[in-house]
């Protein structure tokens, strides 16, 4: 889940100047920087709070570390930073996924309404629809459940994309093979964990996948798609 932004970045491919040159440099350098930052934050938090307290405090461990380091000021700064970080992640995920939904609507894989653009060229209906759905999930689910479900979805997508890239001979096969195998391993490990700890969320996610694969084609026959607009169906 922590690295899903790299995947979302590719959804904005057409909005990036010279993407063939920019994306590889941006993604690879960002991965290195993010790994370094995560390692430093993890080590610093453990040194300030202690491993046992990190496990016990869970989501607020960073805030506790900030308080231990700089008192109330550190607690406030870390809390505000967490708010901005969460808002940034939500916005980037929402808008990138909305653009992906717009592309799928262009290919008649989703209703044509998802392809609607406002004056700024933003798929506004897709943003609103996904935002409402995300708000509902956030209201009824726990943070751990949402993170695990999202991680499972991203891992599955990553493995499928790497497999397709390998089959299409896109990029270096050593890289796509490593990505597919490593992603599949992480996917299996997460599924095993969810079966043991949170089987209900896994069952709900499986139901959503079944709806997307089997019920979506039937639902598309009941709504207007881009193919209907173009008179191709």
| Angle, vertex CA 102, rays to CA 146 and CA 28, nearest 5 | 65
Tell me the C-alpha distance between 46 and 29, whole Å. 26
Question: Could you give phi then psi for residue 143, rounded to 5 degrees?
Answer: -60, -45
Amino acid 27: pLDDT:
85
Amino acid 1: pLDDT:
60
Amino acid 177: pLDDT:
93
Asked if 147 contacts 1 with a C-beta cutoff of 8 angstroms, the reply is yes
Asked if 141 contacts 204 with a C-beta cutoff of 8 angstroms, the reply is no
Q: What is the mean pLDDT, run by run of 10 residues, along the chain of 233 residues?
A: 71 78 86 89 86 79 86 89 84 83 83 84 86 83 75 85 89 89 92 86 81 80 70 53
Tell me the C-alpha distance between 133 and 139, whole Å. 10
Asked if 156 contacts 187 with a C-beta cutoff of 8 angstroms, the reply is yes
Amino acid 55: pLDDT:
79
Tell me the C-alpha distance between 150 and 89, whole Å. 13
Amino acid 67: pLDDT:
87
201: its two tokens: 């969320």
Amino acid 189: pLDDT:
92
């Amino acid at each position: 889940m922590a690295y899903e932004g790299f995947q979302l970045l590719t959804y904005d491919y057409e909005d990036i100047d010279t993407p063939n040159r920019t994306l590889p440099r941006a993604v690879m350098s960002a991965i290195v920087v993010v790994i370094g930052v995560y390692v430093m934050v993890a080590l610093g938090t453990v040194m300030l709070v202690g491993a046992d307290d990190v496990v016990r405090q869970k989501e607020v461990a960073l805030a506790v570390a900030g308080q231990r380091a700089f008192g109330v000021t550190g607690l406030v700064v870390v809390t505000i930073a967490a708010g901005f970080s969460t808002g940034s992640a939500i916005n980037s995920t929402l808008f990138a996924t909305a653009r992906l939904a717009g592309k799928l609507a262009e290919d008649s894989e989703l209703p044509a309404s998802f392809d609607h653009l406002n004056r700024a060229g933003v798929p506004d209906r897709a943003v609103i629809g996904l935002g409402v759905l995300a708000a509902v999930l956030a209201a009824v689910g726990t943070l751990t459940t949402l993170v695990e479900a999202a991680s499972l979805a991203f891992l599955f997508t990553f493995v499928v994309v790497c497999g397709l890239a390998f089959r299409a001979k896109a990029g270096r096969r050593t890289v796509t093979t490593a990505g597919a195998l490593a992603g599949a391993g992480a996917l299996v490990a997460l599924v095993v964990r969810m079966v043991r700890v949170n089987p209900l969320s896994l069952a709900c996610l499986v139901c959503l996948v079944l709806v997307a694969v089997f019920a979506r084609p039937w639902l598309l026959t009941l709504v207007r798609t881009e193919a209907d607009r173009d008179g191709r169906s």
